[in-house]
């Protein structure tokens, strides 16, 4: 006999009901003495207090539905932590959060120790301090990587980072590799965001700005929203927007102009003196660095967080989709409290390294989430890239697109496994429509969870596959392209990627020393420490006995195939070198952030 205890509400909705008799339910309403009701009485009115037990048939009939009843009432939607959507509360919610944090800390502690040791060694080295006291020249920042970070970054930064970092092609191709979410192709009907001297555009692009727009060759990145954020002390930033373009002559994706939008609102171009133009690229990178780190919290962690929270409240723990989500969301609920304590609290990472305060950064994350970044279906892999004109755009194709070329291989493999997995228990679209737990997940996400743009229902197998593949995509090929090992290997490398400027944005051109704007030694070391990496391999995303234990032979075969595909792709990435022109996938650096043997399989960090 199953006994389910429910106490504390006039209108009670219970997820997980199979249509089987509930022998006894203990109900206490509005402080009354608890009463026992049988399954039949649970469906009707009792003394004016409605107890509504609703559907949720499942694929298997032997659900431990008593657990699910308890989850609905003890795993609750609480206030946001570190910005964004609801965060778990209730006794079960808090227990899950505590477990995720404990697991995350246990797993990352060894690497954290290595990062601290490397930082202490670099900081305490007399030779280091004497050699880099003041870091007076731009090139001296490269010496920070010599003989240091042996445990944190044993292979050093990505090939090309320490040799080609001043090239314009290096700067522009970062927008198509390690920072591919801020740039978009301007529609041909757009109004130009800003004007640039016509003679300069003609010299650079052999045409005018309007013509570039009409030919679909003009691209744009906009960080002006950062101008109004509360600032930290003695750290500075512009609020850049920038043009990029596809060259008529070479077909390469190149930078065209950068506008600061602060002070004198200077517009820099590649025809400026080297020091001025280099500083302009650094100013843009400061803004792009801040954007990438706040955007990724909203677009990956928080989108998956609310989706998983809704699933926990509606899917039985025995539902196969629950098992898959449980694997993909490994340690997920650890990140928000850790982000608050490590990134946003007073005196932590944003306050000490970035030009925007921790509170300002957290509020920016929330604004991003609720103003488009948190949209679930709009973020689907190719849908997002098409919307931004980066693939199948109205204009010439990008000759090289490292992010897409890497991510598409992984995305295709993930989708292949997930399709096999889903079809192993849904034999038809009708079975999908008839799974009340699955449909309740969609209803919960669009209802109490207030998820943005989540499917309102699942009509067919393809819809389920698409949603689950997107979650896998967010926790891997989106997250790891801008975070984890990507940071210290390229996106946060000095001298081109400081988190802040250390001198106000110039109001006139004619700068002769870029180094004066860069972080001093201890600030540089602090940036390295924050960006220290720890890895879990993407190849093993679906290689879990818990996930595969109850699956059929086809699913286990698909998991093995996925692992084999990822290992093969890893070998391909590791074997990449520069071609005769000194390029790899069109870039003067070798980008390996999505190497499946290096990138984590989840987004707990």
pLDDT single digits (tens) 256-297: 999 999 999 999 999 999 999 999 999 999 999 999 999 999
Q: What is the pLDDT of residue 554?
A: 73
Q: Which of 283, 263, 197, 238 is nearest to 508 (CA)?
A: 263
SS (H, E, C) 533-556: CCCCCHHHCCCCHHHHCCCCHHHH
> Which whole number is the average pLDDT over 560-566?
77
Written as six digits, the tokens of 42 are: 């649970």
Least confident of 80-84, 91-95, 558-562: 558-562
DSSP lists the bridge partners of residue 422 as none
pLDDT tens digits for range 118-130: 777 777 664 565 5
What residues have CB less than 8 Å from 250, skipping those under 6 apart?
A: none
Confidence of residue 590 (pLDDT cuts 50, 70, 90): confident
**Phi and psi at residue 390, in whole multiples of 5°?**
-85, -25
Q: Which of 550, 569, 601 is nearest to 421 (CA)?
A: 550
Q: Report the half-sphere exposure of 129 (CA within 13 A, side-chain side).
A: 8
| 218-222 sheet: strands from edge to edge | 183-185, 218-222, 241-246, 253-259, 267-268
Q: Which of 441, 421, 534, 442 is nearest to 485 (CA)?
A: 534
Q: What is the pLDDT of residue 547?
A: 55
Written as six digits, the tokens of 175 are: 């927008």
Least confident of 80-94, 104-118, 201-215: 104-118
Q: Report the half-sphere exposure of 468 (CA within 13 A, side-chain side).
A: 30
Q: What is the pLDDT of residue 173?
A: 98
Confidence of residue 1 (pLDDT cuts 50, 70, 90): very low
**All structural domains of the chain with their residue ranges:** 3-92
Q: What is the DSSP letter of 137?
A: S
Confidence of residue 528 (pLDDT cuts 50, 70, 90): confident
Q: Which residue has the higher pLDDT, 422 or 591?
A: 422
**Phi and psi at residue 268, in whole multiples of 5°?**
-105, 150
Compute the Cα dihedral for 155, 157, 159, 162 and give only its sign. Answer: negative
Rounded Cα gap, residues 120 and 186, in angstroms: 46
Contact between residue 207 and residue 227 where contact means Cβ atoms under 8 Å apart: no
Q: Which residue has the higher pLDDT, 12 or 344?
A: 344
Q: What is the pLDDT of residue 548?
A: 54
What residues have CB less than 8 Å from 502, skipping those under 6 apart?
A: 234, 235, 236, 516, 517, 518, 519, 520, 523
Please give the share of the chain, as a percent, with pLDDT higher than 70: 80
> Which whole number is the average pLDDT over 577-582?
91
Alpha carbon dihedral 94, 315, 465, 446, in 10-degree steps, equals -70
Least confident of 304-318, 344-358, 580-594: 580-594
Rounded Cα gap, residues 212 and 445, in angstroms: 43
Residue 382 above 50 pLDDT?
Answer: yes
Q: What is the pLDDT of residue 502?
A: 97
What residues have CB less than 8 Å from 513, skipping those under 6 apart?
A: 138, 275
Contact between residue 326 and residue 340 where contact means Cβ atoms under 8 Å apart: no
Q: Report the half-sphere exposure of 330 (CA within 13 A, side-chain side).
A: 24
> Which whole number is the average pLDDT over 451-464?
98
At which residue do the structure tokens 């490398």 appear? 493
> Which whole number is the average pLDDT over 394-420?
94
DSSP lists the bridge partners of residue 76 as 89
Contact between residue 239 and residue 261 where contact means Cβ atoms under 8 Å apart: yes
Contact between residue 229 and residue 365 where contact means Cβ atoms under 8 Å apart: no
Contact between residue 259 and residue 266 where contact means Cβ atoms under 8 Å apart: yes
Q: Which residue has the higher pLDDT, 302 or 116?
A: 302
Residue 174 above 50 pLDDT?
Answer: yes
Rounded Cα gap, residues 291 and 178, in angstroms: 13
DSSP lists the bridge partners of residue 140 as none
Confidence of residue 70 (pLDDT cuts 50, 70, 90): low
Confidence of residue 532 (pLDDT cuts 50, 70, 90): low
> What's the predicted TM-score (pTM) here?
0.85
Residue 214 above 90 pLDDT?
Answer: yes
> Which whole number is the average pLDDT over 313-341?
90
Residue 600 above 80 pLDDT?
Answer: no
> Which whole number is the average pLDDT over 577-585?
91
Q: What is the DSSP letter of 428?
A: S
Residue 454 above 70 pLDDT?
Answer: yes
Mean pLDDT in the chain? 83
Rounded Cα gap, residues 354 and 307, in angstroms: 30
Residue 436 above 70 pLDDT?
Answer: yes
Written as six digits, the tokens of 514 are: 């870029």
Confidence of residue 504 (pLDDT cuts 50, 70, 90): very high
pLDDT tens digits for range 15-66: 333 333 333 333 433 344 434 333 333 333 333 333 333 332 333 333 334 4
């Amino acid at each position: 006999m199953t006994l389910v205890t429910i106490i504390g509400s006039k209108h009670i909705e219970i997820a997980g009901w199979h249509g089987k008799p509930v022998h006894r339910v203990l109900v206490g309403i509005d402080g009354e003495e608890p009463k026992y009701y049988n399954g039949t009485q649970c469906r009707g009115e009792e003394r004016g207090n409605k107890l509504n037990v609703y559907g949720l048939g499942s694929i298997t009939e032997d659900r431990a539905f008593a657990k699910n009843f308890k989850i609905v009432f003890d795993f609750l939607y609480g206030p946001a932590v570190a910005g964004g959507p609801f965060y778990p509360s209730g006794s079960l919610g808090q227990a899950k959060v505590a477990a995720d944090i404990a697991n995350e800390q246990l797993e990352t502690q060894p690497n954290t120790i290595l990062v601290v040791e490397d930082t202490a060694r670099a900081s305490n080295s007399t030779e280091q301090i004497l050699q880099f006291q003041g870091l007076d020249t731009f090139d001296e920042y490269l010496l920070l990587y010599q003989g240091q970070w042996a445990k944190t970054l044993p292979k050093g930064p990505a090939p090309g980072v320490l040799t080609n970092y001043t090239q314009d092609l290096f700067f522009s191709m970062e927008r198509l590799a390690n920072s591919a979410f801020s740039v978009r192709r301007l529609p041909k009907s757009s109004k130009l965001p800003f004007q640039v001297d016509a003679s300069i555009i003609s010299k650079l692009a052999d045409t005018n700005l309007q013509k570039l727009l009409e030919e679909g060759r003009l691209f744009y990145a906009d960080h002006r929203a950062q101008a109004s954020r509360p600032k930290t002390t003695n750290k500075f930033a512009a609020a850049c927007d920038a043009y990029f373009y596809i060259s008529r002559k070479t077909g390469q994706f190149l930078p065209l102009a950068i506008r600061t939008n602060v002070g004198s609102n200077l517009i820099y171009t590649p025809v400026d003196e080297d020091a001025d133009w280099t500083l302009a690229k650094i100013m843009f990178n400061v803004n792009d660095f801040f954007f990438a780190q706040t955007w990724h919290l909203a677009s990956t962690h928080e989108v998956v967080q609310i989706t998983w929270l809704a699933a926990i409240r509606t899917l039985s723990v025995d539902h196969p989709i629950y098992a898959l989500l449980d694997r993909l969301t490994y340690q997920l609920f650890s990140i928000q409290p850790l982000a608050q304590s490590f990134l946003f609290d007073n005196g932590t990472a944003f306050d000490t390294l970035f030009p925007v305060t921790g509170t300002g950064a957290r509020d920016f994350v929330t604004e991003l989430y609720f103003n488009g970044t948190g949209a679930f279906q709009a973020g689907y892999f190719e849908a997002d890239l098409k919307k931004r004109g980066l693939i199948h755009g109205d204009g010439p194709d990008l000759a090289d697109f490292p992010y897409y070329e890497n991510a598409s291989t992984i995305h295709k493999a993930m989708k292949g496994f997930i399709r096999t997995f889903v079809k192993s228990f849904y034999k038809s679209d009708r079975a999908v429509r008839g799974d009340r737990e699955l449909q309740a997940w969609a209803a919960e996400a669009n209802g109490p969870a207030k998820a943005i743009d989540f499917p309102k229902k699942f009509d067919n197998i393809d819809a389920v596959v698409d949603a689950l593949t997107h979650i896998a995509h967010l926790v891997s090929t989106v997250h790891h392209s801008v975070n984890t090992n990507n940071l210290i290997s390229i996106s946060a490398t000095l001298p081109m990627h400081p988190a802040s400027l250390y001198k106000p944005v110039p109001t006139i051109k004619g700068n002769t020393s870029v180094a004066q704007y860069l972080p001093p030694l201890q600030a540089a070391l602090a940036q390295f420490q924050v960006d220290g990496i720890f890895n879990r391999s993407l190849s093993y995303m679906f290689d879990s006995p818990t996930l595969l234990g109850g699956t059929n032979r086809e699913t286990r075969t698909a998991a093995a195939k996925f692992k084999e595909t990822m290992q093969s792709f890893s070998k391909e990435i590791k074997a990449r070198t520069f071609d005769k022109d000194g390029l790899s996938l069109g870039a003067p650096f070798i980008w390996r952030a999505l190497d499946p043997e290096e990138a984590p399989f989840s987004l707990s960090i």
